Structure 1
């Protein structure tokens, strides 16, 4: 989001500008100003070691010329022709999208010390010519180009130049060109549990109760919010992702994720949860760190789908609609944390199997806009929306679309699609973004899609469209989402890790992100003593035969799960086995 008119942001910008003026006056008053020395911040040496006409071997050496250590290094370049393809690699993970190539550090050699170098290579193919790339970037910084030494004072860059954003500047997409914080609590657990290959992936920090602000989220984690922010600075990260998740009467349509605050405790939510978070986030030492705030999942959509007049209604959701505390809480969250230029608020929009029907879609966008204007919030406080958080909807269904038909019968009439307008998360997210703009949100909003558990790989993944015999057989045998029903959400059997976190992967999509840390349970089928307000939920029982919210289908849940947010080893191992794309 660029160009905000929030008064609080204006006040903060004025203070920062005043500080800059004071510093400039001191310099002009007699402190010696250094002369900036031009030097590349990084260098990349790309060599074709062998070329046999249709294929080649490349060796790439990257050097960090900056004065600080760089973690989780990433080198990017573009080929000049579409016929150039990077292939099997060593000492890095190399992927290609069109002509754009990304080489990511291996987990065992992910740090580039100041002045340090790393070498990797790959085998490639080409049709026609094979020119060397001309421009390289290291974690978003252009290499082989003279730049001013950041350790020597010089004339400041133009803060209003949109093509040269400075640390702390408000940007349209906080993920673009950014290094995202890797949560050490999750990373260590994942590595110890057999996930060394993916332990360097960034995941979100969950603030799911008041005590989590100081002592960490559920389970064995011990780091509080300030600990994570400090660790992000140490990592040299540009972005930290957090989930604020503690509304009064939280998740009114389920039991596994209900929380510590009663339906009427809106004042405690404001004073004891959001305000202390704001106090920490507002520390000037974090001003250059972009903080992505995923706002209260599983809340506002419930006020559309699970209230009186719907067969899916619950008494708890009727109560939350009547007292208005979901709308008030989300509005207060947006306004309070949105006062900081470095905070990017993303409101939860459920998933396509929840809000994709005509009677849910527009009504949800309108309700979100109402919340974005409550308790002092404005749409300027909203950077975008978060889809599929802690859920399993396939990112893309590769073998059929909503426009397909079988013998004249639309796939919308299949039991699986059930008249929904969408068959996967990306098409839903892109469409919801447009609907949100219609409802009144700014046109530059984006969407994050949680891909932590929606890969659906493994041997059960279809590799081609099924025969068009009947519409149900075609859809059921073509879809990669192997759940029993799109309404199933608890510890789903057969699920796998999805797309790895990635910035700006598609139009309107700010990022694929791992918001739900893989391996953390969705909930238990039996009451397990805890101090987090979480209870057993039938949807977490593999023997449960369902309710109206999942079409009276089997739950599809794995057995023996712990309380939500706690480590579930059996699920983690299954996510690794069924990852798509597969784990190298």
Structure 2
């Protein structure tokens, strides 16, 4: 039999394949494995992270509502010829703030259309809106200034309407400020846990990034809040929110939230910094001498903190206390004082 010429490379391998084909097969496998690793690292394709697994405020800038009460006050001041006041309020308008959804203002049958208009406008602007769901039965049962809410039968369908409208959009929800922290004091624990757990299920099913309210550092102990958060399903959502509508300092809130986060398995959290530039003692309802806190923005510092946010619009009253108008109404004097004290 004649000998093969020198340099020939198609000698059968032990596997029965020509060596060149075996090398090519190995290369293809290597490329495929490399592609999977890259996709996993960059969260592409089947490895894309879900809405509860990413920081929404790092993905897009936050949306500032052009029709907020603050914006309306700025336009009214300008129409009345109060130019300096109008300019001051307009500065607040540019800062993204929470868009509160209450059944008194956005009842069942209406709230879905309103949310759809907000998320659509935000999406067209390439921004993420922050929606605050505030309609739990016997709402504000400890303070009383924002009392109201829906009945137990209507509540979850109302949340479902919100979730359905927000589904498919980049939006974030803070779920029911004060509801868990006040549940024990108001003897509402069983009902609140049940309703909030069902609301969590609805929001998760719709793919809406959710933070459950977790009180603040001057109220309920971390271990007690953590137990309530676990019961309502914090493990299924992005995390929890602290200091909503309150005045505790950033360091106090982050320390508190880190304790809560550790107790609930490392959940992420957001902190309301809208009016905590000075910090407050025991008084929570329009305490005097306050200042705006740091502006909203996402955080990436290795902790559980996703962002500092202005969840409560700073210019809106806490209630009819210390000279304020009803809760949620824009209070020009208060807004001016907060701006001046920066």
TM-score bracket, normalised by the shorter chain, equals: 0.7 to 0.9
User: Do the aligned partners of 1:207 and 1:216 also contact (CA within 8 Å) in 2?
Assistant: no
Q: 1:521 aligns with which of 314, 317, 334?
A: 317
1:250 aligns with 2:139: yes
> Which gives a bigger RCO, structure 1 or 2 (Cα 8 Å, sep 6+)?
2
Distance between the aligned counterparts of 1:200 and 1:346, measured in 2? 24
Once the two structures are TM-superposed, the CA of residue 379 in structure 1 deviates from its matched residue by: 2.4
Distance between the aligned counterparts of 1:160 and 1:258, measured in 2? 49
- 1:299 aligns with 179
- 1:185 aligns with 67
- 2:152 aligns with 266
Mapping of residues 159-558 of structure 1, within 5 Å: 160-163=39-42, 170=51, 171-186=53-68, 188-189=71-72, 191-192=74-75, 193=86, 194-209=88-103, 211-212=105-106, 224-237=114-127, 239-261=128-150, 265-271=151-157, 273-282=158-167, 287=168, 289-304=169-184, 306=185, 317-318=186-187, 320-321=188-189, 324-341=190-207, 343-355=208-220, 360-372=221-233, 379-380=235-236, 382-396=237-251, 424-437=252-265, 443=266, 445-456=267-278, 481=279, 483=280, 485=281, 487-504=282-299, 506=301, 507-524=303-320, 540=321, 558=322
TM-score (norm 2): 0.77
Distance between the aligned counterparts of 1:246 and 1:185, measured in 2? 21
Once the two structures are TM-superposed, the CA of residue 231 in structure 1 deviates from its matched residue by: 1.4
Q: Call closer, same or farther: CA 1:428–1:354 in 2, change over 3 Å.
A: same
- Structure 2 segments unaligned to the other structure (5+ residues): 1-35, 76-85
Q: Call closer, same or farther: CA 1:367–1:231 in 2, change over 3 Å.
A: same
- 1:22 aligns with none
Distance between the aligned counterparts of 1:215 and 1:203, measured in 2? 25
Distance between the aligned counterparts of 1:502 and 1:328, measured in 2? 33
Once the two structures are TM-superposed, the CA of residue 297 in structure 1 deviates from its matched residue by: 0.9
Q: Call closer, same or farther: CA 1:564–1:210 in 2, change over 3 Å.
A: closer
Q: Call closer, same or farther: CA 1:158–1:180 in 2, change over 3 Å.
A: farther
- Structure 1 segments unaligned to the other structure (5+ residues): 1-156, 218-222, 307-316, 373-377, 397-423, 438-442, 457-480, 525-539, 541-557, 580-584
Question: Secondary structure at the residue paired with 1:297?
Answer: coil
Question: Secondary structure at the residue paired with 1:290?
Answer: coil
Distance between the aligned counterparts of 2:38 and 2:146, measured in 1? 43
User: Do the aligned partners of 2:291 and 2:339 also contact (CA within 8 Å) in 1?
Assistant: yes
Query: 1:423-466: CA deviations, max 9, x gaps?
Result: x21211222211222xxxxx3x211000111112xxxxxxxxxx
Q: Call closer, same or farther: CA 1:190–1:429 in 2, change over 3 Å.
A: farther
User: Do the aligned partners of 1:202 and 1:501 also contact (CA within 8 Å) in 2?
Assistant: yes
> Which is richer in strand?
1
Number of matched residues? 290
> Which is richer in helix?
2
